[in-house]
Amino acid sequence: MRPDLETVADHLDPRVPDWAMPSVRPARREDLSGLAAIEEEGDRQFAQRFGGVDWPPPVSGADRAAEPGFLLVVGDPVVGFAHVLDLGDGCWHLEQLAVAPAHQRQGVGSALLDAVHAEVEARGGSEVTLLTYADVPWNAPWYARHGYARVDPASRLAPMLEVERRLGLERHGPRVAMCRPVGGLTPPSGSRS
């Protein structure tokens, strides 16, 4: 082997080039049945953190598909998905983002989030809202690194907060509303960390 040439091992650094990022696609009918299991696995991480709580059952893929909005997925079979609701009047709400634990921390969640922003922009939206736990490391702090800022959940998010209250989500910690502009002068997308 020529000693002046670099080996593959010289370049095994952790930076993931753009072309190797997980590819995101719109959900197909056959993907729907796998979504609830992914959500349930993600919910188990909350149960571990909060201590064996009764968690609301996951929403079925079919129920998600019946809502106005869009569903994006990664993998075949699916290993992660994002469900965005069209609230009307140009308002888009990230209702769920979940990645199967075995596939987490490899950029799948970030790729889905970037695709959500691009899709909302393509559909003429100017911002995305969400509700999440303030103090869970992979919730509000992670979204903040992806350009989301806390907002007053009054007005259009109030009905969703009410649903969350009924489900008892607030028992485990403060929930916060967050919003991120898309298109135009958007904040830089978060890095993997």
Ligand X SMILES: CC(C)(COP(=O)(O)OP(=O)(O)OC[C@H]1O[C@@H](n2cnc3c(N)ncnc32)[C@H](O)[C@@H]1OP(=O)(O)O)[C@@H](O)C(=O)NCCC(=O)NCCS
Residues forming contacts to ligand X in the complex (CB under 6 A) are 42, 45, 97-99, 104-110, 130, 132, 137-139, 142, 192-193
Q: Tell me the closest approach of the beta carbon of residue 144 to ligand X, in angstroms.
A: 11
Least distance (Å) between residue 3 CB and ligand X: 35
- Nearest to ligand X of 74, 182 (CB atom): 74
Angle (CA) 125 129 132, round 5°: 160
Q: 99-103: which pairs have CB atoms within 8 A and are 24 or more residues apart? A: 99/38, 99/42, 99/74, 100/38, 100/41, 100/42, 101/41, 101/42, 101/44, 101/45, 103/74, 103/75, 103/79
The DSSP code sequence of 119-156 is: HHHHTT--EEEEEEESS-TTSHHHHHHTT-EEE---GG
Residue whose C-beta lies closest to ligand X: 109
Find residue 142's DSSP bridge partners: none
To the nearest whole angstrom, how small is the minimum distance from the Cβ of residue 85 to ligand X?
13
Nearer to ligand X, 123 or 145 (CB): 145
Tell me whether residue 6 or residue 130 sits nearer to ligand X (CB atom): 130
Q: How far is the CB of 10 from ligand X (least distance, A)?
A: 23
- Please, which residue, 92 or 142, has the CB nearer to ligand X? 142
Q: What is the CB neighbour count within 10 angstroms for residue 190?
A: 17
Tell the smallest beta-carbon distance from residue 106 to ligand X (Å): 5
Q: Which residue lies nearer to ligand X by CB, 107 or 153?
A: 107
